[in-house]
Structure formats: structure tokens, C-alpha cells
Amino acid sequence: MSRLRLNIKGRVQGVGFRPFVFNLAKRLNLNGYVKNTSKGVVIEIEGERTEEFVELLQTSPPPLSRIEGIQKEVLDDAGFSEFRILSSEDEGSFTHVSPDVSICEDCRRELMTPSDRRYLYPFINCTNCGPRYSITLRLPYDRPNTTMAPFRMCPRCNEEYHNPEDRRFHAQPNACPICGPSLRLIVNSPEFDNFKNLPPLEAIIKILKNGGIVAIKGLGGFHIACNAEDRRAVVVLRHRKGRGNKPFALMAPDIETIERYCYVEPEERRLLLSEQKPIVLLRKRSPLLPHEIAPQNRYLGFMLPYTPLHYLLFCHPIDEDSRNFSVLVMTSGNLSEEPIIHKDEDALKRLSHIVDAFLLHNREIFMRVDDSVVTSEFFIRRARGYVPEPVKLPMDTGEFLGVGADLKNTFTLTKEGYAIVSQHIGDMDNYETLQFFEEVLDNLSGLYRITPEAIGADLHPDYYSRRWADRQGLPVFYFQHHYAHVASVMAEHNLTEKVIGVVFDGTGYGTDGTIWGGEFIVADLEGFQRKGHLRYMPLPGGEASIKEPWRTGLSLLRETFGENTEAWIERLGIAKRVPVERISKILKVIENPHLSPLSSGCGRLFDAVASLMGVKDINTFEAEAPMALEALVVEGVTSFYPFDIIEEEVFIVDYRPLIISLVEDLIKEEPLSSVATKFHNSVVEMVVEATERLSESTGLKTVVLSGGVFQNLYLIRRVVQRLKQRNYRVFYNRMLPPNDACISLGQVYLLAWRHS
Ligand code: ZN
Ligand code: ZN
Ligand code: FE
């Protein structure tokens, strides 16, 4: 007989770990206890079969858990007489918080079983599913520390909660129609007044069926929904929401339905069905849905229902024999670029002009988290289902904060070798986003008890995030934007060696005061050197040209054709789309270096080409023009346009030969699909050529790719394939988006390295 004490680290709370341990101990006739601590879980076991216990715990742990380490100690017998689950203990160290988990199969079955006491109950959950991160106020993860605290369990729920044999044993958000949260309906438009007295869910379904637009309080915030097959509703929603052409996310009840509209590759199917249930960008297959959902886009963003409430929208038996909807639009409940709304009173105040009705509930959302958006290669937005899953760094760390960049902001906290990256915060140029940043920072640093000793920020003197950092009274370390991009990939893959970094994005502040964004660097954790970049071009009007690609289009022509620019403007028919006065004004602005900062941004090159091709002259949301260009790409075109690499102090990748050939193709009226594909292929070749050049001079064979331009599936796949053919080890962002959402991780990695 011996007593074993096990200290278990990893994702072991809120995932049914203690009940699992309890049942396993019972089965093996072991006595002792299990308890949550703020470090993880502690188990003591006594009996004959302790080794078997450890073995089984390692080989078949509960499905949602992830054990990262078991520390074993052999102790003298304590003479336990039973196995017990002890109440949690508070010790103040790093522990994992589980992300929110989508509804499990068992709960879904009960939800649709008429004899079950939770039949059609929209808040059904169990040990294996339900809200976690979004309702957790404090650690350890116990009901009184969640927004479920105000709901007192009824006798039957209480009995499930305390019964180790029950699948709701210690399920903290356990609830039923008698004791748990409930729905509330508010009808906003007189048009739908006749549904006012129906039960809330039925009313909402009827309003949706009748072409209405509704706000639905979900897991991490509000959605705005309408029937996606109803073109009029989609158009009205786009109009009321006023966010240009930004694609709407869609929800369908099952994969078969999604396959009617999109191609679903095996990896994409896995992502759709995963416990995280993200929005997956899928290639459009048929024009069955209104094109206004995602105009000029190659993809549709689909997700499956992830809460019981979502299931009921589709499957509530209002119509005896059919599904209520095939597809719903489920877009974030926010105003243009502001953060997602999570409080009832905010929704009522801010969304009233958009929606005809509200479906509310009385379980408070503590941490607001948007839906995550992924492709089979990378994240576009990392939030619900993934946050706050930490990134393990290759060294022990102190407590630091990286405040990220201003677009697609996230921040990252470190503690004990872990980096916790916040959910998607948004664009920092509005007050609401800045507030959201502070709100989540308060919540996360409180949850993990982190007090940063220093802050990492972007070099850009005008970034709100940096200015915020400067006000905190802590040491601030500034990192160049594209270096931080490279460092984020190094952090994800635990790289510490010297690498070749290729960063293609829109804009980032360079060490020389120009705007960088088509960068070839050599970097390690000590520092970096800029070895090459795309040729500079003036951005007429600075920021304004980011919203108006036609301006960069003119700039590109001016760079390429000099004196002959106006002839080419004529030949390409640009004056048919843009008023002549504006063209001549911008041509003057280009000549003025004070009004037209220089940029090597690859995103701007995509913008400019999209405009020259007549594909897109205005970006109504970030990267709209490059996405429209990607939408034209076809398989099977392998040729590319020529370009030069000119050796100066650093090497310059000169795109002018490319532009000359490209406009010739346009004049010859080559199909746009072939022009767009050849342009993409040229960018791939630029990366390959520049990498070869850098590898020859440095001997390095490890390449890191990052930056928003690599959110282009065609581009990233080609680049990776071509580099691997030439025997490079290639790394890119897999756990975070390659856009500026990864910057904060890069910053803390560099910061922590300097302090380790
Ligand atoms: Zn469940
Ligand atoms: Zn109950
Ligand atoms: Fe960037």
C-alpha cells in the first residue's frame, strides 16, 4: 500500500476532470481525494492499484482535458476511508481556464427528447459542454465564481450536481427550466406586434420566417440574425447595419446543408464539427444564396449551431415536419467596427434601429467573445472556443504585457512560461474598442492574477495602443511591427534560432519613419536586420489611400510609367470610373512628399492592382480589394509576370516590369482570372527569389512567413509548397491569425526573452 500525491497541470478545470477522477478511483478501489487548486488539480490516492490509476489517467483522460504535466510524490499512508471531492483551494498561480464548449451530442439528444425534463430548454449543458470562459469571473472555476451564481439549483439539478454517477456531476452551469436562466422577448417593430404574446423562441422564429431581423443574445455576445434565403431581409440588414460589403457569417443546421452552397474539404469538415465550432471560410459552390451576403468574395463563412438555443432556432418543432430554416445570417451584434455587444441594455440602446425584435436571457455574459473565423490553414479571427487557451513558450517567463497593434488588436499576458493571448479586440481607433481592451485586460489579469512588470508595444508613435502603454507608469519596450510579426511565429513554434522572415502586410511603422509592409528580414530573438523590401511607392493622401485603392492604382502607374502615366490612365479607362478632376488632383498629390508618405506595403500593391484591373476601387472594409482579386484566381495557370531584384544598400524587389506586362495583358483583354492568377504567381516567385538570395548570403534555411497578406489561401499554399520544394523549413502563424492580431504575442516573446 502506498499513497500517491499527483499535481496535475494543463487544461483540467471545467472539463469534467474531477468527476472522471472520482469514478476512476472508485473503480480501482482507491481512497483519497481530488481538488481544484488555482495551479491545476491535486489528487491523493491510496490503495493497491495506484499505478494503474496514473496509467489510465494518462492514456484515456476526459475528452476535453489536456494534461501538460503530472508531478508524482510518494507519501506515507494517511488511512483515507473513502474517495472524496474536496472544495477548491486558492493558491494563486497559473492555471488554465477552459474556453467555451459547444453543445455535446448527449445534451442535443436530451434537448430534442419530448419526455426529457430539459426538452427544448435553451440552456441545457453538462460536464462536457456549455459556457466556460464567457461566464467565469474568478478562479477556481466553481459555480459561485461564475455568472451562474444567482441561480439556485432546484432539488433535481442539485442532486445531479452531487451525484458522481451523473453526467452533470459538478457541471458548474447546470440548469433546468425550473431553476435556470430563461428567455425574454422584446418586439421592437409594430409590424411584428402580433407575435408579442407567443413564447419568446417561437415568436423569434416566426419573425425570422416573416422576413424580420432580430438580435439574439448568445454565448459571448449578441448576434444579429435574419433568414439568409430571404434576399429582401439580407439587403435590408446590409442597409441598416451600414458596413459596406463586409461579408455576413452564416449558420446552417448541418454539414449536408452547408455542402449545398459550398465545397467542404475534409479538414474544413473537421473544423466545422470541432468542439470550438468556428466560422469556417468555405469556397462558394452555387449561387443559391443572395450574393449580397458576401459580394465579390470567393468564400462564405459558415458555422454550425454551437449552443442549444441555436439548435432550437433551426429544430424547434413549430413546423411539424420540416426545419425552420436552411441558413441564417448570424453576424456580430455591433455597430460597424465597434466591439460585439454583450449587455441587454446596450443592445436595446444601440441595436434598436437595426432589429425588429430582441431575444434576451438573464444569464449574464462576463467576458464577451466574438465568433472565431478560420480557414484550414490559419485563423482570421481567434476568439470564442479558443481563448484563453495559452501558448506555451520555450522558457520560463515573468509577468509581461504586449499591447499589440492598432488594427485587429489583441493583447498578450505572460506568466510562468505561458502566453495568454486575448480574444479579438478590434480596431483601436474608436472609444468603445479602447474600453473593451481595458475591460478584457482587467478581466484576464484578474483571472490569472498577473501584474505586468513591463510592457511591449509597437514602435508607431501614433498608435493608441502604444500611447496607452506609455501612460501606465511601467517600463515600455518598443518593437518594430514586422519584427514582432516574425517573433509571433517564432513564439508559436518555439523557435529561438536565427530565421529568414518574410512579412507581407498593409502598413507598419518602419525604423526609418517610412511605412513598411513588404519586408525581407533576418531575425533572432536578440534583434533583426532589414535585408530587402518591395519597392516604395507614394500613398497619395496617406491613410485615405488605404480606403481608396484607385489612388494607389494611380501611384503605381506613376511609378511605372512616369511621364506617360496619363496616356495609360486613358488606355485603361480609369476616367470612366473616377471623375477626371479627382484624378488630376491625386496626380498632383503624388508629387508632394508631405502628402504622400512612402510605403513598401504588399497589401497596397494588391490594392493598386485590383484597381488597375477595374476589380475594386474602394475598400468598404479592410482588404476588400485584395479579397476580390483572390476571388478571381483559377487553378492551372502557372505563368507569372517578370520582376527585378535590385541590389542597393538592401535589395529592392522592383514590381515595375510586372506592372508593364500586366497592363499589356489588360489592354489585350486577357481574361481577368488569368491576369489575377499570374499576379498572384508573381508574388509567390518574389518570395521564393528573395528567400534564395537571403539564404545564399546567410546560410539560413528556416523561413518564417507572417502578415495579413498571407491570409490569402492561394498565396500561402503556393509559397509554402515552393519553399519546401527547395528544402526550406517553413513556419507561419497556426495558432493566431497572420494579421496584426499576432503582434502582441511577438512583443511579449521578445520582451520575455530579454528578461530571461
Ligand atoms: Zn453536454
Ligand atoms: Zn433545476
Ligand atoms: Fe501587420
Structure confidence at residue 614 as a pLDDT band (50, 70, 90): very high
In the block, residue with C-alpha cell 513558450:
393
Centre of ligand 2 from the C-alpha of residue 176, in Å? 4
**pLDDT of res. 2:** 77
CA 718, chain centre distance (Å): 23
Taking the C-alpha atoms of residue 641 and residue 656, their distance in angstroms, rounded to an integer, is 10
Centre of ligand 2 from the C-alpha of residue 159, in Å? 9
Residue type, 126: C
Is the torsion defined by CA of 618, 621, 626, 629 positive or negative?
negative
In the block, residue with C-alpha cell 518593437:
479
Centre of ligand 1 from the C-alpha of residue 107, in Å? 4
Closest CA to 560 of 662, 667, 472: 662
Cβ neighbours around 485 below 10 Å, total? 35
φ and ψ at residue 653, rounded to 5 degrees? -85, 110
Centre of ligand 1 from the C-alpha of residue 552, in Å? 52
Question: b vs e for 658-671, b when ≥16 Cβ sit within 10 Å of the residue's Cβ?
Answer: bbebbbebbeeeee
Centre of ligand 1 from the C-alpha of residue 220, in Å? 18
3-state SS class at 557: helix
Percent of the chain topping pLDDT 90: 86
Average per-residue pLDDT in the chain?
Answer: 94
In this structure, are residues 175 and 126 in contact, taking their beta carbons and an 8 Å threshold?
A: no
89 pLDDT higher than 70: no
Centre of ligand 2 from the C-alpha of residue 358, in Å? 25
Centre of ligand 1 from the C-alpha of residue 110, in Å? 9
Q: C-alpha cell of 594?
A: 508631405
**pLDDT of res. 242:** 83
Over residues 195-243, the pLDDT tens digits come to 999 999 999 999 999 999 999 999 999 999 999 999 999 999 999 988 7
Structure confidence at residue 314 as a pLDDT band (50, 70, 90): very high
38 pLDDT higher than 90: no
446 pLDDT higher than 50: yes
The average pLDDT across 445-470 equals 96
Structure confidence at residue 92 as a pLDDT band (50, 70, 90): very low
250 pLDDT higher than 70: yes
Centre of ligand 2 from the C-alpha of residue 346, in Å? 29
Centre of ligand 1 from the C-alpha of residue 301, in Å? 25
Over residues 536-563, the pLDDT tens digits come to 999 999 989 999 999 999 999 999 999 9
Over the Cα atoms of the chain, what is R_g?
28
Centre of ligand 3 from the C-alpha of residue 546, in Å? 14
In the block, residue with C-alpha cell 425588429:
356
Nearest ligand to the C-alpha atom of residue 275: 1
φ and ψ at residue 576, rounded to 5 degrees? -75, -20
Over residues 105-133, the pLDDT tens digits come to 999 999 999 999 999 999 999 999 999 99
Over residues 369-380, the pLDDT tens digits come to 999 999 999 999
Question: b vs e for 503-537, b when ≥16 Cβ sit within 10 Å of the residue's Cβ?
Answer: bbbbbbbbeeeebbbbbbbbbbbeebebbbbbbbb
**pLDDT of res. 98:** 87
Structure confidence at residue 85 as a pLDDT band (50, 70, 90): confident
Which residues place a Cβ less than 5 A from the ion ligand 1?
104, 107, 126, 128-129
Is the torsion defined by CA of 667, 668, 672, 677 positive or negative?
negative
Separation in Å, CA 89 to CA 73, 84, 142, 658: 19, 14, 11, 65
**pLDDT of res. 94:** 62
Residue 273's region, left for phi above 0, alpha for psi from -120 to 50, else beta, is: alpha
Nearest ligand to the C-alpha atom of residue 175: 2
The average pLDDT across 79-102 equals 79
Comparing 722 with 10, the larger pLDDT belongs to 722
Cβ neighbours around 232 below 10 Å, total? 11
Structure confidence at residue 96 as a pLDDT band (50, 70, 90): confident
Centre of ligand 1 from the C-alpha of residue 113, in Å? 14
The average pLDDT across 732-754 equals 97
Q: Which residues pair with 646 in a beta bridge?
A: 652
**pLDDT of res. 93:** 54
Structure confidence at residue 1 as a pLDDT band (50, 70, 90): low
Cβ neighbours around 152 below 10 Å, total? 11
Is the torsion defined by CA of 354, 355, 358, 359 positive or negative?
negative
Nearest ligand to the C-alpha atom of residue 306: 1
Centre of ligand 1 from the C-alpha of residue 626, in Å? 41
Percent of the chain topping pLDDT 70: 99
Taking the C-alpha atoms of residue 416 and residue 469, their distance in angstroms, rounded to an integer, is 22
Centre of ligand 2 from the C-alpha of residue 66, in Å? 30
Over residues 128-143, the pLDDT tens digits come to 999 999 999 988 888 9
